[in-house]
Structure 1
Amino acid sequence: MDNNVSEFISKQEKWSHELQLLREMVLSCGLEETFKWRAPCYTIKGKNVVILGAFKDFCCLSFFKGVLLKDSEGILKQQGENTQSGRIVPFTDTAEIHRLKPVIKAYVFEAIEVEKSGQKVEFNTPDELELPDELEVAFQQDAEFQNAFQSLTPGRQKGYMLFFSGAKQSATRTSRIEKYRSRIFDGKGLHDCVCGHSKKMPSCDGSHKYL
């Protein structure tokens, strides 16, 4: 078990018992535990399978490639109308988790097989660029951020995805996403002017350097 995950769960005022149950459940499926994107993440041979989330109204088990699961029990939810790959199972009490334990484990095993098979999600993105895992997680954690990103022009979306994906380390990709979050909410592209003084609007001409 990862100590960062233990600390994360112990600090949860509302969902600590539910998250601990989900943690034990996914670990019993043979997944490896790590701490990514400020959340407990579970992998198979380094590939992301599921991640735990804690929100105001619910906690959840989120499947990175949930859209590829059969969902025979109809429990998977799309978090935000623009979410393409991830699907969540939300919970509000421990009884609900206990009741669905066999189903949840079956879904986790199916997700493991999906990852082992190398199946890919067909993302609807500019020029069919693959969405970075870190950006998909950011979307799962903040539907408003996803809507803001999807509202950008295809060219602006492409610019950000190339920039985010260009970083070799996951931590750097996450840092870039967080750094440009406010710019995306403002509807600005990677190289758009944000100071309002550019003479080549909407592009930045470096005028901000002389303010």
Structure 2
Amino acid sequence: MIKNDQWETELEILKTIIAKTELVETNKWGGCVYVYNNKNVIGVGGFKKFFTLWFFNGAFLKDEKEHLINSNEGVTKSLRQWRFTSKEEINEKEILAYIREAIDNEKQEKIIKPEKTKSEVIIPTLLQNELNSDGDLKEAYLKFSPYKQKEFIEYIETAKREETKLSRIEKIKPMILNNIGLNDKYR
């Protein structure tokens, strides 16, 4: 967000409209954000060519008047902006309708949860050979969470020489068989 006074009057008009709702004004990320039960609902800000009212979960708004845009298509999942270029574009009745709908959506807990990226664990060949040749070791290894399996893999793979990798495998075999994670003693 550009820090300038270009839209000072217009932003004050938006803030006056928002003050008519149950939202609470806070300051986050250097900008003005309005929350309901500590959940971000809307924000206001001024940029070089426009000032904006953005809805953190705007994807759930009906937007029958088609005011909202996704400012970063393909990246932003739920954030939507309503851009203005003059105070004449500010329609209090329409803005309040959108804000009330956003508050109702927040009360209903309509949110888009961030997608967790599940990275596939690739077992190095040297370790895979050991697991294949020892059924007990393989069974014990598979009982570990993917996070702990990854710790073992990274420990082996950070060695540069193959003989160091092999010695590290030998070192962790008893740990795996005794169900002891690589970094358990530090937890």
**What is the TM-score when the length of structure 1 is the normalising length?**
0.52
Instruction: Work out the CA distance in 1 between the residues paired with 2:59 and 2:16.
Output: 24
Q: Does residue 33 of the first structure (1) align with residue 25 of the second (2)?
A: yes
* Greater mean deviation of Cα atoms: 104-113 or 74-83: 74-83
CA apart distance, 1:103:
0.9
SS of the aligned residue for 2:26 comes to: strand
Q: How many residues align?
A: 120
Counterpart position of 2:92: 101
Does the 8 Å contact 1:85/1:123 carry over to 2? Answer: no
Counterpart position of 1:50: 42
Structure 2's unaligned 5+ residue stretches are 121-158, 161-187
Supply the AA of the counterpart residue of 2:64: S
CA apart distance, 1:123:
4.0
Deviations 1:156-201 (A, max 9, x none): xxxxxxxxxxxxxxxxxxxxxxxxxxxxxxxxxxxxxxxxxxx97x
CA apart distance, 1:27:
1.2
| Over 6 Å off, 4+ runs | none
Counterpart position of 1:77: 69
Instruction: Work out the CA distance in 1 between the residues paired with 2:97 and 2:107.
Output: 15
CA apart distance, 1:124:
4.8
Supply the AA of the counterpart residue of 2:44: L
CA apart distance, 1:44:
1.1
CA apart distance, 1:84:
0.8
* Greater mean deviation of Cα atoms: 103-112 or 11-20: 11-20
Structure 1's unaligned 5+ residue stretches are 1-10, 128-153, 156-198, 201-211
SS of the aligned residue for 1:49 comes to: strand
Instruction: Work out the CA distance in 1 between the residues paired with 2:47 and 2:116.
Output: 27
CA apart distance, 1:122:
4.6
* Closer/same/farther in 2, CA of residues 125 and 93 from structure 1, 3 Å limit: farther
From the CA coordinates, give the structure whose radius of gyration is larger. 2
Q: Does residue 114 of the first structure (1) align with residue 144 of the second (2)?
A: no
SS of the aligned residue for 2:40 comes to: strand
CA apart distance, 1:119:
1.4
Identity %: 36
Instruction: Work out the CA distance in 2 between the residues paired with 1:103 and 1:124.
Output: 32
Instruction: Work out the CA distance in 2 between the residues paired with 1:124 and 1:104.
Output: 30
Supply the AA of the counterpart residue of 1:22: L
Deviations 1:35-64 (A, max 9, x none): 111001101121111011211111100000
Deviations 1:105-144 (A, max 9, x none): 10000000111111121545524xxxxxxxxxxxxxxxxx
- Aligned residue among 58, 70, 82 for 1:89: 82
SS of the aligned residue for 2:33 comes to: strand
